[in-house]
Amino acid sequence: MIEGTVVRVSRTECEAEVDGNRVQFHVRGGTIRAAGGKNPVRVGDRVRLAVHPGAIVLDEILPRESILQRTTIAHGRTVRREVASNLAMAIFVIPAVETDPAMRPRRLRLLDRMLVSAEHADLPALVCVNKIDLVTDQSELAAMKGIYQRAGYRVLQTCAPAGDGVEDLRDSLPAGLSAFVGPSGAGKTSLITALTGRHDLKTLSVSASTGKGKHATTASEAFELDGGRWAVDVPGLRSFGLEDVEKEDLAYCFAEFRDFLGHCDNRWCTHLVEDGCAVLAAVDAGGIAPARHDSYRRLMVDQNKGQR
Show the DSSP H helices in the chain as ranges. 29-34, 103-120, 138-150, 166-172, 188-196, 278-285, 290-305
Which residues in the chain show pLDDT less than 50?
A: 201, 203-215, 307-308
Q: What is the CATH number of the domain that holds 278?
A: 1.10.40.50
| CATH at 163 | 3.40.50.300
Cα Dmax for the chain: 70
Q: What's the confidence (pLDDT) of residue 199?
A: 65
Burial class (CB in 10 A: 0-12, 13-18, 19+), 127: buried
Nearest Cα neighbor of 143 from 104, 198, 91, 195 is 104
251 and 201 fall within a common domain = no
DSSP 214: P
For residues 57 and 72, membership in a common domain is answered with no
Alpha helices in 137-259 (DSSP H): 138-150, 166-172, 188-196
Give tens-digit pLDDT for 212-230. Answer: 444 455 688 999 998 789 9
Cα separation, 308 vs 298, whole angstroms: 10
Number of independent structural domains in the chain:
3
> Considering the domain boundaries, does residue 195 fall inside one?
yes
56 and 163 together in one domain: no
Q: What is the CATH number of the domain that holds 32?
A: 2.40.50.140
d(CA 238, CA 235): 10
Tell me, yes or no, whether 240 lies in a domain: no
Rg (alpha carbons) of the chain, rounded to whole number: 20
Domain boundary at 35, 63, 91, which? 63
Confirm whether 149 is domain-assigned: yes
86 and 31 within one domain: no
User: Do the domain assignments include residue 163?
Assistant: yes
CB atoms under 10 Å from CB of 48, counted, come to 13
Closest CA to 148 of 200, 180, 108: 108
Are 149 and 87 contained in the same domain?
yes
pLDDT tens for each residue of 118-171: 999 999 999 999 999 999 889 989 999 999 999 999 999 999 999 999 999 999
Find out whether 271 and 257 touch, Cβ atoms under 8 Å.
yes
Task: Specify whether 58 is located in the same domain as 77.
Answer: no
Q: Is residue 99 part of a domain?
A: yes
What pTM, to 2 d.p., does this model score? Answer: 0.88
The pLDDT assigned to 198 comes to 72
Same domain, 123 and 50: no
DSSP bridge partners of 46: 5
Amino acid identity at 173: L
239 within domain boundaries: no
Could you tell me which of 257, 279, 270, 269 has the C-alpha nearest to residue 300?
270
Do 275 and 228 fall within a single domain?
no
**Residues of the domain holding 27:** 2-63
- Which has the closest alpha carbon to 47: 80, 71, 24? 24
Q: pLDDT value at position 108? A: 93
94 and 146 inside one domain: yes
8 and 111 in a single domain? The answer is: no
Note whether 76 and 157 are same-domain residues: yes
Is 151 part of a structural domain of the chain? yes
- Mean pLDDT across the chain: 88
Final residue of a structural domain among 21, 38, 63: 63
Task: Please tell me the predicted confidence (pLDDT) of residue 125.
Answer: 97
261 by Cβ neighbours in 10 Å (0-12 / 13-18 / 19+) ranks as middle
Contact between 165 and 159 (Cβ < 8 Å): yes
Q: Quick one: 204 and 83 in the same domain? A: yes
Burial 173-202 (b: 16+ CB within 10 A, else e): beeebbbbbbbbbbbbbbbbbbbbeeeebe
What are the φ/ψ torsions at residue 44 (nearest 5 degrees)?
100, -20
Q: Which of 233, 257, 273 is the last residue of a domain?
A: 233
If one counts every other C-beta atom within 10 angstroms of the C-beta of residue 246, the result is 12
Residue 238 lies in a domain: no
Q: What b-and-e string marks burial along 77-93, b requiring 16 or more CB atoms within 10 Å of the CB?
A: eeeebbbbbbbbbbbbb
Q: What pLDDT does 239 receive?
A: 82
